[in-house]
Every structure is written in C-alpha cells, then in structure tokens.
Amino acid sequence: MSEVTQKVFNALADTTRRSIIDILTTQGAHTATQLSQDMEITRQGVTKHINILIDAGLISTRKQGREVYYDVTPSPLANATQWISNIEAQWDKRLSALQNLIEDQSNS
C-alpha cells in the first residue's frame, strides 16, 4: 500500500474527520468556524482534524479575504478505491478457486 493510500485510510479512520468530509461534500466549502458550529466541537479541534485531512490530500484550502475555506479534494480517494478493488479481486479469485475445488470433489 502506498504512503498516500495509507494516509487516506488513516485520515478516514476517525469519525470526526469523516463527518468533516461529509459536510464539505454535501454542503460545499466551509471555514473552520463554520465547521465547528456544525459539529459542536471547538474551532481548534476542527483545525487539528482539517490538518490531517490536508496532509492526506483530501481537503484543499482557498483564501477569500481573511477567511480560509476548506473543500474536498476527492482524487486521493481513487488510490484507496483502487487498493480496495485489488483486494476484492484477489478474494474473488480465491473464492472462485475454492468453489471449483468443492465442485471437483463433489463430482468425484
């Protein structure tokens, strides 16, 4: 697993960070203050979670005047999705091989 994919999974492992992603995905760009009001945690708490999401590449920033807006950057999710697809394909192969083995033994 690549470092980028690892960072994505680590970032999404936390329910608060997943909530931030959900809010930004469904409601659009927010400031840390707006997110803290939506989530009922302190602005500093939101900022710590945002920094982890930024480090994973899942959130981008845009400065407008004195405000910093955060928005979702979905492209790193493609790496995670590809990793999951690869694991799924491996399991499909294994299950298919097991099914063939069982059918062969049943026919013997």
Q: Do 62 and 71 meet the contact criterion of CB atoms below 8 Å apart?
A: yes
Specify the 3-state DSSP secondary structure of 67: strand
pLDDT score recorded for residue 68: 96
Q: What is the pTM of this model?
A: 0.78
43-88 pLDDT per residue, tens? 999 999 999 999 999 999 999 999 999 999 988 888 888 888 888 8
pLDDT score recorded for residue 99: 81
Are β-strands 67-72 and 59-64 bridged in parallel, bridged antiparallel, or unpaired? antiparallel
pLDDT, average across residues 14-41: 94
- 49 burial (CB, 10 Å; 0-12 / 13-18 / 19+) is buried
Question: DSSP per residue over 9-27, as a string?
Answer: HHHHTSHHHHHHHHHHHHH
